[in-house]
Amino acid sequence: MSVSNDAGMLAIHGGSPAVDSSKFKKHNPISEESISEAVNVLKSGRLSEFVGEWCDEFLGGPKVRQLENESLSRFGSKFAISVNSWTSGLVAAVGAIGTEPGDEIITTPYTMSATATAILHWNAIPIFVDIDPKTFNINPNLIESSISEKTRAIMVVDIYGQPADMAEINAIAKKHKLRVITDAAQSPGAKYKDKFAGTLSDVGGYSFNFHKHIHSGEGGLCFTDNEEIAENIRLIRNHAEAVVAKRGHNNYVNMLGHNFRMGEIEAAILIPQLKNLDSIVARRIQIASNLKSQLSDCTGLVTPYIAPERTHSFYTFAMQIPDKVDTGVSRHDLASALRAEGVPVSEGYQNIHLLPVYQNKIAYGSKGFPWNSEFNNRDISYEKGICPIAEKFHEQTVLALGLCTYDFTDAEIDQIAKAFKKVWSHYF
């Protein structure tokens, strides 16, 4: 591998960094209005008004209800239910569709671990399907071959901020009488055919933990147009088993007690941010467009693809790099060089099916439950190689720049682009 000095010595070799990362400003969507609203809640002394029995307070306090009501008109869903985290939202969603022990739910391995853990929570079994190499989302063309008589649902993940191919996935689900859950944690504000991500399936929703587009530290929001699913989520959120009798709710499936309730402070912090989401997403799109343009002459670098009829909220700017087999340059070499130049890139995304819980099929207790239970007990493979695209992206070819970590200025984006070109000129 030859190394050129045309663009100056790489910082990793002792040269000067191209980027002054010390001046990066952390993304902070918390406005003065959010602070004022939170202070008002603190002064009231009513930090949560949920009660775990059937009464008016079962649905939470005024700020929680305001957040839910304003989200309905904001995102165009019939029902919105707040939760204390999106992990809680996923757990509630899987339970709310009536998941039975031993059921299978098809999902992607290229996501955060909670996506699949929410399936295991109800003693159901994740079935992993590989991803589309252009969008990073689950590949609809591979779903049907993984459907079995035990399949209950398809759980879609809008990874990095781009909605999955919901028309195709919903059509498959309808054909096989399956439910669809959308993990849209990273895609608030993104659209598919003019409808917001997270509202395009039986149930979906957003994450509001601290590194998302808008946040309250922790929190989440579930969306559905199905009244029964909405009711089930509300019950699962708030000690369902203690409430169903008084509520007159005669379906006791998965009515187990949880405390997934959002506090009044978190809701108060989020409400003003709903108004700012469009501008936050617009800025991420602007940054992404700028980067795509400036990096277009970096040999072999593939910048994010946006599929037809979709918008992208760019939680992350994910790039594919030249294959080491062809170039002799590893992703680790490139990532290390870029980080030395001051560019905060990360390498790939974990593959959930390769985590120990799936490799060993040990979740509840030591006996392999639920995989070897009487409810399912069929041979399900999580071997390396079942999702080759996701595995390659995880191990070799994807670099990611988190656009919700910092509020980059145009000048900083120019510096970052310069750093890429500097590194690329040395290695390619």
The CATH number covering residue 216 comes to 3.40.640.10
Query: Do 245 and 180 sit in the same domain of this protein?
Result: yes
β-bridge mates for residue 155, sequence order = 181
Domain-located, residue 372: no
Domain-located, residue 371: no
Q: Which helix (H) or strand (E) holds 324?
A: helix 324-327
Distance CA 220, CA 88 (A): 8
Query: Do 264 and 179 sit in the same domain of this protein?
Result: yes
Q: pTM higher than 0.75 for the full model?
A: yes
Q: Which of 221, 252, 273 is the last residue of a domain?
A: 273
- Domain range for 263 is 32-273
Domain count, the chain: 2
Other beta carbons within 10 angstroms of residue 365's beta carbon come to: 7
> How many residues are given for the chain?
428
Q: Which of 238, 273, 308 is the last residue of a domain?
A: 273
Tokens standing for residue 50: 């949920």
Query: Do 340 and 415 sit in the same domain of this protein?
Result: yes
Domain-located, residue 244: yes
Nearest Cα neighbor of 153 from 118, 197, 104, 204 is 104
Domain-located, residue 91: yes
Residue type, 279: S
Which residue's entry shows tokens 């390498």? 347
Tens place of pLDDT per residue across the chain (428 aa): 333 444 589 999 999 999 999 999 999 999 999 999 999 999 999 999 999 999 999 999 999 999 999 999 999 999 999 999 999 999 999 999 999 999 999 999 999 999 999 999 999 999 999 999 999 999 999 999 999 999 999 999 999 999 999 999 999 999 999 999 999 999 999 999 999 999 999 999 999 999 999 999 999 999 999 999 999 999 999 999 999 999 988 899 999 989 999 999 999 999 999 999 999 999 999 999 999 999 999 999 999 999 999 999 999 999 999 988 788 999 999 999 999 999 999 998 889 999 999 999 999 999 999 999 898 878 999 999 999 999 999 999 999 999 999 999 999 999 999 999 999 999 99
Query: Do 248 and 320 sit in the same domain of this protein?
Result: no
Query: Do 265 and 395 sit in the same domain of this protein?
Result: no
Domain-located, residue 208: yes
**What CATH number did the domain enclosing 421 receive?**
3.90.1150.10
Kindly provide the b/e burial profile for residues 81-113, where b requires at least 16 CB atoms within 10 angstroms of the residue's own CB: bbbbbbbbbbbbbbbbbbbeebbbbbbbbbbbe
- Which residues fall within 8 angstroms of residue 233, CB to CB, at 6 or more apart? 81, 83, 89, 92, 93, 96, 203, 222, 224
Domain-located, residue 99: yes
Q: What is the DSSP letter of 59?
A: G
Query: Do 262 and 399 sit in the same domain of this protein?
Result: no
Query: Do 288 and 412 sit in the same domain of this protein?
Result: yes
Query: Do 300 and 266 sit in the same domain of this protein?
Result: no
Query: Do 260 and 294 sit in the same domain of this protein?
Result: no
Query: Do 141 and 289 sit in the same domain of this protein?
Result: no
β-strand 191-192 against 125-128: which pairing, if any? unpaired
Query: Do 205 and 326 sit in the same domain of this protein?
Result: no
Distance CA 109, CA 349 (A): 9
Q: Which of 273, 299, 319 is the last residue of a domain?
A: 273
